[in-house]
Amino acid sequence: MAKAPKDDIFTKKTFETLSGIPLKEIYGPEDVSNNSKIQQIEDAGQPPFLRGAYKGMYRVQPWRIFILTGAGDIEEARNRVAYSLEQGETGFLAECDMSTWLMYDVDHPDVVARKKDVGWYGAPVMSLKDYKNYWGNLPIGDVYCHTGGVLPQMTPFFISCFLALLDERKIPIEKVNSTGQGDFFISYLSMLHPSLIPPSAGLKLNCDAIEYTVRNAPSITPISMAGNNIRECGANSYQEMAAILSCAVDHIEHMLSRGNLTIDDFAYAIGGINLSTGSDFFEDICKIRAMRRMWYKLLSERYNAKSSKSLRLRVHAIPLGSIYTFQQPLNNIVRGTYTVLSAILGGSQSIGTPSFDEAICTPTKLAHTTALRTQQILMYESGVTNVVDPLGGSFFIEALTDEIEKKAWDYMKEIENNGGFIKSIESGWLHNEISNESLKNIKAINEGERKIVGVNCFEVEEEPYQFEPYKPNPRTWEIAMKALQELREKRNTKKVEKAKKNLFKVLKESENSMKATIEAVKSDVTIGEIGEIYRTVYGCWDAPKIIGL
Amino acid sequence: MEKKIRIIIGKTGIDGHWRGVQSVSTALKNAGVEVIYLGATTAQTISKAALEEDVDVIGLNIGASYEQVEKLMTIIKENKIDNILVVVGGTIPRTDIQLLKNMGVNGVFPPGSKLSDIVQFIKSNVERK
């Protein structure tokens, strides 16, 4: 029989948000006197963008349904993306294998030692040919697309492949709407891998892509800082906000130090971010609202940005997969529903959803489809798209929005006191801050202080249902290896060598590497070869020691 | 004085996510277990290190395929070192738990496992081995 918790939540004496902000029983006009003057609250699309990035919000433009997809070999991954688009997804985000993330070709010893792991989380993409095989048959230009390239070290390669593909298919750049990733949080916070290039080199490569796309491909948002990745690692909401803003500051300072572009030329290229929504429904709604206002203040007050394109923050919200449970996994559909709802009520431009089997395997087709339908039901059936910022003006929502903003500014100061974002990840300070938060949360769940249905209350002895977990094509490594061998045999070695030499030289001389990377991918230089050049020029990251490991 | 239990922990994949392995490692350290953390590793490397370090337990954080687990269990059988306890944890479907146990893995801990259960399992099974 399912067990109810011993200590009932209705008997508890203190109330606070997940990040520890104390909560009153009821909120009134006295709680919103400072920051948010409810009587004079600005419309969405107006500075400080508290109520929304755009006027009219979902009446004008529904949020984009943008779910992470793609595992197996390239064909299998592409078919899943295509299926998702057929079913009504309105943007696509095609994932690559871990070997691609680390910039290894599949014959690298670290990959060969784990051949059967290839394809479990995404398809291996090693060359422009692979990229064209994966992305080339998808409706780029018709729907919003992710260029690929999760880590900063992948940014130039993937943007170059994307641009080369547009070139070949004669799709005008103005026609596409897309984003890259180059995320520092997954690269240097939630993962520690000894083969990554150092964070300062990652920053340089991201900024190369920003500079190049601002000038040549302004419809691409080349990077997108992903707050969800720091949250999945254990950070709380205001740590997530502060980390994003200080990471943005490091990018902005680096761009300004180059002296080639002004803040209003490039701010938009950094101003599209990912934010998480998790198990504190109201706190995460307030976080999204507050984040837009903070972005506005940071850009206008610190950097004197003027154009609304610079001052307006766009948000892709990602409901957290880490709140999904292994136990009674169909319950995760409900968790997905309320976290998508908080993303909507916060006013996100784009939303992803984890699938209900998140804690079990890479999404099966059924779970993936259900994740998509969750968003469609909210969009088409629930009426939540009718009114802009429907919670705006609530005493509680405005008070909590003010409070989380204050917490985030304070924490941003702490990061800056520790040398700024890059310094605080090089020293490991930020990792240890987050891991303390993570351990505190795990302890609260383990000891039953925080209730998780099916995990520490209402548990069942026998799971009521079983399903077949996802497994990728077991021949993924062989297929990728064959494509790699063919590429190496057929490509023009002279051109390859010339392009590699040129890229090496450009990096050594600290010039913008984008043109050289575009030339390299067009000459069939592989991601492993480019990675090798990076590792030679920059060395590998001496990752910090983390408490407990 | 009672001899401390020694465990060597590694990740079989190359991805490097550390949150799960860190929480398990911290719980073990708090319970008085000596933890050696290898990071991303292979069956070959961790089995060699396990012998050199004279550990009682090998802990693997797994995801994706079970290639490394299979290889590790073969090495353990071939070298007759099955006095070493093998525990694995990670994103493991319920349907695969028995599969891993059939390979000879002593303890399988999927997501949502209580840290205290992992500690308890290791403590009582090391004594028994």
pLDDT digits (tens, 9 = 90+) for A398-428: 999 999 999 999 999 999 999 999 999 999 9
Is A549 in contact with B115 (Cβ distance < 8 A)?
A: no
- What's the pLDDT tens digit per position in A461-492? 888 888 889 999 999 999 999 999 999 999 99
Cβ-nearest to B22 among A232, A360, A548: A548
Question: Which residues in A lie closer than 8 A to residue B25 (C-beta atoms)?
Answer: 548-549
* Cβ atoms A139, A84 nearer than 8 A: no
Quickly state the pLDDT bin for A33 (edges 50, 70, 90). Answer: low
How close, in Å, is residue A325 to chain B by CA atoms?
7
Is A193 in contact with B16 (Cβ distance < 8 A)?
A: yes
What pLDDT is recorded for position A257?
98
| Listed residue (A298, A296, A316) closest to A308, CA to CA | A296
In A25-114, at which residue ranges do the beta strands (DSSP E only) sit?
64-65, 68-69, 91-94
Which residues face A319 on adjacent strands? A277
CA distance B61 to A191: 14
- Chain B's closest residue to A111, CA to CA, is B14
Is B67 in contact with A116 (Cβ distance < 8 A)?
A: yes
CA distance A262 to A31: 39
CA distance A357 to A338: 17
Is B23 in contact with A116 (Cβ distance < 8 A)?
A: no
- Chain B's closest residue to A357, CA to CA, is B93
CA distance A134 to A542: 34
Q: Tokens 């004279």 identify what position?
A: B54
Answer whether residue A40 shows pLDDT above 90.
no
CA distance A459 to A451: 11
Task: Using alpha carbons, list the distances in angstroms from residue A262 to A214, A221, A252, A256, A301.
Answer: 11, 17, 10, 7, 15
What pLDDT is recorded for position A135?
93
Is the previous residue joined to A48 through a cis bond, with omega within 30 degrees of 0?
A: yes
Backbone φ, ψ for residue B86 (5° rounding):
-115, 120
Q: Tokens 């990675």 identify what position?
A: A531
Rg (CA), chain A: 23
- Mean pLDDT for A212-234 is 96
Is A121 in contact with B64 (Cβ distance < 8 A)?
A: yes
| Listed residue (B15, B123, B21, B46) closest to A99, CA to CA | B15
What pLDDT is recorded for position A7?
63
Backbone angle region of A361, left / alpha / beta, with phi > 0 → left and psi within -120 to 50 → alpha? beta
Is B13 in contact with A98 (Cβ distance < 8 A)?
A: yes
Rg (CA), chain B: 13
**Interface-testing mutation among A99, A326, A327, A430, with chain B (most B C-beta atoms within 10 A):** A326
Q: Tokens 């706190």 identify what position?
A: A283
* Cβ atoms A140, A107 nearer than 8 A: no
Residues 6+ apart with CB under 8 A from A380: none
- What's the pLDDT tens digit per position in A321-367? 999 999 999 999 999 999 999 999 999 999 999 999 999 999 999 99
- Chain B's closest residue to A465, CA to CA, is B94
CA distance A132 to A167: 12
Helix and strand totals (H; E) in chain A: 21, 9
Cβ-nearest to B37 among A232, A233, A549: A549
Please report the ipTM that was assigned to this predicted complex. Answer: 0.94
Q: Which helix (H) or strand (E) holds A233?
A: none
Quickly state the pLDDT bin for A211 (edges 50, 70, 90). Answer: very high
- What's the pLDDT tens digit per position in A41-89? 889 999 999 999 999 999 999 999 999 998 999 999 999 999 999 999 9
- Which amino acid is located at A429 in the chain? W
CA distance A22 to A16: 4
Say whether residue B117 is in contact with chain A using an 8 A CB cutoff.
no
Which of A286 and A11 is assigned the larger pLDDT? A286
- Mean pLDDT for A246-264 is 98
Quickly state the pLDDT bin for A10 (edges 50, 70, 90). Answer: low
DSSP state of A144: E
CA distance A13 to A346: 29
* Cβ atoms A60, A52 nearer than 8 A: no
- Which amino acid is located at A213 in the chain? T
CA distance A354 to A321: 6
| Listed residue (A105, A70, A160) closest to A485, CA to CA | A105
- Mean pLDDT for B105-111 is 97
